[in-house]
């Protein structure tokens, strides 16, 4: 495994150690879900509250590990592997941040989860933009539309555009730190618009490239 993946596994393991240490201080049913205004609206048993997020993260890390090995275009992934590895580590930091916020909330250190998520997504979306700008055509990583997967040129143009837009989404998410009541809108609206725009953009660029298709 790459160094970034090993660090990611160690980070999740360390967060679980923190969770286990604080386990006796947590209530039998822990807050596990928050609404759009940052209010608690979901609970689960204490054991599930401590294990679910790390378990999901470990499963995703396994998936990230397998992707470069099973992609038919894995040679292209090798060309931006360093950026991909960095993304894995940043993603793990994001998941760990959410986990620690949940654990700390349940022992009395109550930081607004929307503030935490907004800052975390700012970093994650910004680096996702960098990853997109450096990615090459493959079947798992990036903006995968029928048109980007059919043309290296369309892939490059779409991912340059998508990279800039993801960085913009990160900056907009950061506004949620200042205005947590609107954080959910700062997260969802920009990313939906980015998804729609890059899909349409890739189609139009493909039509320009192959007008007789």
* Residue 213 pLDDT exceeds 80: no
Phi-psi region at 142: left, alpha or beta (left = phi > 0; alpha = psi -120 to 50): left
Q: What integer pLDDT is reported at residue 158 of this predicted model?
A: 98
Q: What letter does residue 24 receive in the DSSP assignment?
A: G
| Tens-digit pLDDT profile for residues 47-77 | 898 889 999 999 999 999 999 999 999 999 9
Neighbours of 207 (CB within 10 A): 13
Q: What is the pTM of this model?
A: 0.93
**DSSP category for residue 34:** E
Question: Long-range pairs for 101-107 at CB < 8 Å and ≥24 separation?
Answer: 102/30, 102/31, 102/32, 102/49, 102/53, 103/18, 103/19, 103/22, 103/26, 103/49, 103/50, 104/22, 105/31, 106/26, 106/27, 106/30, 106/31, 106/49, 107/22, 107/25, 107/26
Task: Please give the pLDDT value at position 36.
Answer: 81
For residue range 131-186, what is the model confidence (pLDDT) as tens digits? 999 999 999 999 999 999 999 999 999 999 999 999 999 999 999 999 988 999 99
- For the chain, which residues make up each domain, given as ranges? 3-209
3-state secondary structure at position 139: coil
Question: b/e for 90-120, b at 16 or more Cβ within 10 A?
Answer: bbbebbbbebbbbbbbbeeeeebbbbbbbbb
CA-based R_g, the chain, Å: 19
* 212 pLDDT more than 70: no
């Amino acid at each position: 495994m790459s160094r970034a993946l090993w660090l990611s596994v160690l980070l999740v393991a360390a967060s679980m150690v923190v969770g286990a240490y604080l386990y006796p201080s947590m209530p039998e049913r822990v807050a596990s879900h928050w609404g759009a205004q940052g209010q608690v609206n979901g609970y689960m048993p204490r054991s599930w509250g401590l294990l679910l997020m790390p378990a999901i993260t470990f499963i995703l890390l396994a998936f990230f590990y397998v992707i470069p090995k099973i992609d038919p275009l894995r040679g292209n992934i090798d060309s931006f592997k360093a950026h991909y590895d960095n993304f894995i580590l940043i993603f793990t930091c994001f998941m760990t941040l959410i986990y620690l916020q949940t654990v700390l909330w349940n022992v009395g250190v109550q930081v607004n989860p929307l503030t935490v998520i907004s800052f975390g997504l700012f970093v994650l979306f910004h680096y996702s933009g960098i990853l997109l700008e450096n990615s090459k055509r493959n079947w798992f990583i990036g903006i995968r539309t029928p048109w980007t997967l059919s043309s290296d040129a369309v892939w490059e143009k779409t991912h340059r555009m998508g990279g800039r837009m993801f960085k913009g989404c990160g900056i907009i998410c950061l506004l949620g730190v200042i205005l947590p009541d609107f954080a959910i809108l700062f997260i969802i609206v920009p990313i939906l618009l980015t998804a729609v725009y890059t899909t349409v953009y890739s189609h139009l660029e493909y039509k320009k490239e192959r007008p007789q298709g």
